Amino acid sequence: MSSGGFGEQPGQGQFGQGQFGQQPGWQQPPYGQPGPSGQAGAGWPQLTGRRTNSLAIAALCCAIGQVIAGPFAGIAAIVLGSISLKQIRLSGEDGRGLAITGLVLGIVGTLLVILLIVFILALFKGVAANVNSLSN
């Protein structure tokens, strides 16, 4: 048989130690050791600093999302914004501006929806009163 041909049994290839065994001239480094570049993570700056509060980010996202999701996202923005302001005050995290923006946009959006509902109800009441006066 030819070396490395189709007729050979698995594990008897031309490289020695089986079909998927270790190749000659290659030594596998021990598990967990850094590669040839040296120390793991070398050359990358270590990020230090304060984290941004996740609830503040969520409050801003909900406040912006109320354009699509309606008043339910505005209510969530108000709740998340107020909770995140308390957490930021206690923990010293970043994100105070995000939380305030989410809170204000949530309040404004919710008030606009309430005013829109009141306007629509008043409009329907006025139309109904005109229809009743025309029929009499």
Rg of the chain on CA atoms, in Å: 34
> Does 120 fall in a domain?
yes
The pair of structure tokens assigned to 33 is 């050791």
**Residue pLDDT tens, the chain, 136 long:** 555 556 555 555 555 555 666 566 666 656 665 555 555 555 667 667 789 999 999 999 999 999 999 889 999 999 999 999 999 999 999 999 999 999 999 999 999 999 999 999 999 998 888 887 777 6
The pair of structure tokens assigned to 31 is 């598990």
Give me the pLDDT at residue 37, please: 55
Give the pTM: 0.61
> Does 126 fall in a domain?
yes
Domain count for the chain, please give it. Answer: 1
In angstroms, the CA 77 to CA 37 distance is 47
Q: Which domain holds residue 121?
A: 54-135
